[in-house]
Structure formats: C-alpha cells, structure tokens
Amino acid sequence: MTRKASALAPSNIAFIKYWGKRNPRLNTPFGGSISMNLSEYQTTTTVQFTQLNRDEVVIDGEVAVGKEEVRVARHIDRIRSLAGVRLGAQVESRNNFPVGVGIASSASGFAALTLAATRASGLRLSQKRLSALARLGSGSACRSIPDGFVEWVTGRRDQESYAFSIHPPDYWDIRDVVVLVSTKKKSVGSSEGHALARTSPFFRARIRSLDDRLRRLKRALRERDFSAFGRLVEEEALNMHAVMLTSTPPLVYWEPGTLAVMKQVGVWRARGMESYFTLDAGPTVHVMCRAGDAEVLARRLRRIPGVIEVSVNRPAVGARVVKEDLF
C-alpha cells in the first residue's frame, strides 16, 4: 500500500447543466451534462493513511468541521471500503480560488480527493471508475476527472453514471473569462439547491428539453460553431436559473454585478464583440469567447462596477497525480 499521494484537479464550467438529483444518495442526475475544465481554478490535495484511528481534514489552512468534515470523511469511507483499508486519513487540500461563489470548488475538490485517496490506499482505478466514484462525493466532480471537454452520461445505476472526454483541451481555442462579482459565501449551497429543483413548475419542462439541448451542444462543439455554441450556452444557463428562481423557496443566486455583466455582454455582442455568458449556482459570471478576444474582453470586464476579479481560462486537462505533497 502506498499510504501517501497527492493529486491536482481543475474546476469545470457546465455548458449543459446538472440541476436536480434523481437519486440524492448516488448523486445521479435527471439528464446528461457537458462541461469544460478550467485552467486557472484548481484544487491540490494530499492524502496520507496513518495509524491514527480518526481522520483529520484541513482545507485552505483550516481544520474542516461540521457538514464539510462529514462529507469528506464519508467519501474517504467509500475509498477505505473499496481498498479494504482501516486506517485513519490525514487530508490537506488547497484551492487557488475563493470557495462558495459559483466556481465549482466541490468539483475540483472531490475530483482531487478521489484521485489522491485512491492512490494513497493502493488502488489504481480506470478513469471511468474514478469518475463514478468522484460523483458520489459531488456530482459535478465526475466531470473534473477526464480531460478537456467532458460529457457526463445520466446512468441510473452507480457505475453507469460517469463522465468521459469528448474532445481534448486543444480541440478548440475558446476561453472562459471568469468574472467574480462577490466573495460572500452563498447562503444556499448547491447540494441543498438541488433538492429544491423539483418544486419549480418549470422543472419538468426543463428535463424534457434537456436531450435536445445536449444534442445541439454536441453538434456545435463538433462543428466548432461558436455562435451556435454561445447562443445555446446562454439559453441553458437562463433555463436552469428559471428553475432556481421559481423553486420554493426561490433561489436567487445573482448579485447586482451578475446582471450588470450579463447585460453588458449582450451590448458588446450587438456591437460585434461576440461573447456569451453562463452561470452556475452562484453570482460568478463565466463569459465564453474566442481566444483572440479574451484579453480585450477581460480588460473591459474589469471596468464594470461591481467586478472584483477577472481571470481568463483555457480548456484544461483533468485530474492528475502530482509528486509534490502538501505535507
């Protein structure tokens, strides 16, 4: 048994989104989703199995407590039982970005944890099994395991719900310009949010139309048709937020800066700067553009009142084992 291992995993932005769980225990979705790994938002995690009979989890320099600790410990339990390991785990995890503002920290976090903990326990799983296992920690984490542009297939059973790469990172030179408009931790996390999805009168209609959007998005990617891609990405983001806004209780993840950026993207587009927005479960806006437009766009975005930080992301590889340990 290896005992200690480290992994690095990217966050991802969903173009077709996962919102609502068919089986909350398994984090299986109602439909497929598609995402791109982000080059600038990553989690690094080191796991060491020790003789201690308890786990110790440190995230961004602070000992994890409460729900966060339980969620991580439960995931390590899954890996312990797969590997037949009975040791306690020492876990240290570092994000290079603020958590809880709509950049998927649970995605990169559980992807890195899954890879590091399986390796430390002596397991060497296929990418498909790693992805399905990461999904049990956080649904969107299954998409941070494979490289580049990734599809998560619905699957009803545990092993059938996993993600795989549909195009490598260098397949298409597009950018996600991530625009932070708030660093407050959101009050309703996505795990709680998922449970409300079904209370929206629009949820069924959303699920019915999902396959069609998935098909159209895959075609736009295949044809590298940026305009078709962008229109669809905006349509999908607004469709998911329509479900959020009409849930009981309603989920309003937007901040004033969110709307300011969304509106401005439309204004610039009408004037010839072609870009499109998408949003996950938070106020952060992701503006998709062609590589050649990214720097000009980033500069303009930084000037919008309410914008805190802007970063330009390339499509990136998935989770990787790294040699440098955090402790």
In whole angstroms, give the CA distance from residue 104 to residue 7: 17
In whole angstroms, give the CA distance from residue 140 to residue 111: 9
User: Cβ closer to ligand DP6: 2 or 191?
Assistant: 191
In whole angstroms, give the CA distance from residue 226 to residue 106: 28
Residue 282 C-beta: closest distance to ligand DP6, Å? 8
User: Cβ closer to ligand DP6: 14 or 221?
Assistant: 14
Residue 106 C-beta: closest distance to ligand DP6, Å? 4
Joined tokens for residue 297: 């766009």
313 membership: H or E segment, kind and range:
strand 309-313
Residue 2 C-beta: closest distance to ligand DP6, Å? 27
User: Cβ closer to ligand DP6: 85 or 163?
Assistant: 163
- The upper half-sphere exposure of residue 148, i.e. CA atoms within 13 Å in the direction of its Cβ, equals 13
Residue 66 C-beta: closest distance to ligand DP6, Å? 16
User: Cβ closer to ligand DP6: 192 or 223?
Assistant: 192
Residue 13 C-beta: closest distance to ligand DP6, Å? 8
In whole angstroms, give the CA distance from residue 308 to residue 290: 23
User: Cβ closer to ligand DP6: 192 or 295?
Assistant: 192
User: Cβ closer to ligand DP6: 69 or 274?
Assistant: 69
Residue 3 · residue 123 · CB < 8 Å: no
171 closest CA partner among 322, 325, 283, 316: 316
Q: Looking only at Cα atoms, what is the longest distance across the chain? A: 63
CA dihedral 187, 32, 14, 63 (to 10 degrees): 50
Residue 137 C-beta: closest distance to ligand DP6, Å? 7
- Burial annotation 222-233 (CB, 10 A radius, 16+ → b, else e): eeeebeebbebb
Residue 201 C-beta: closest distance to ligand DP6, Å? 19
Inter-CA distances, 27 with 35, 152, 253, Å: 17, 12, 22
33 membership: H or E segment, kind and range:
strand 33-50
User: Cβ closer to ligand DP6: 93 or 190?
Assistant: 190
Q: Identify residue 98 by its one-letter amino acid code.
A: P
Contact positions toward ligand DP6, by CB under 6 A?
14, 17-19, 27, 33, 104, 106-107, 138-140, 190-191, 194, 280-281
Residue 223 C-beta: closest distance to ligand DP6, Å? 23
User: Cβ closer to ligand DP6: 98 or 139?
Assistant: 139
In whole angstroms, give the CA distance from residue 35 to residue 100: 19
Residue 191 C-beta: closest distance to ligand DP6, Å? 3
The DSSP call for residue 199 is: G
Pairing of strands 56-59, 88-95: parallel
User: Cβ closer to ligand DP6: 196 or 301?
Assistant: 196
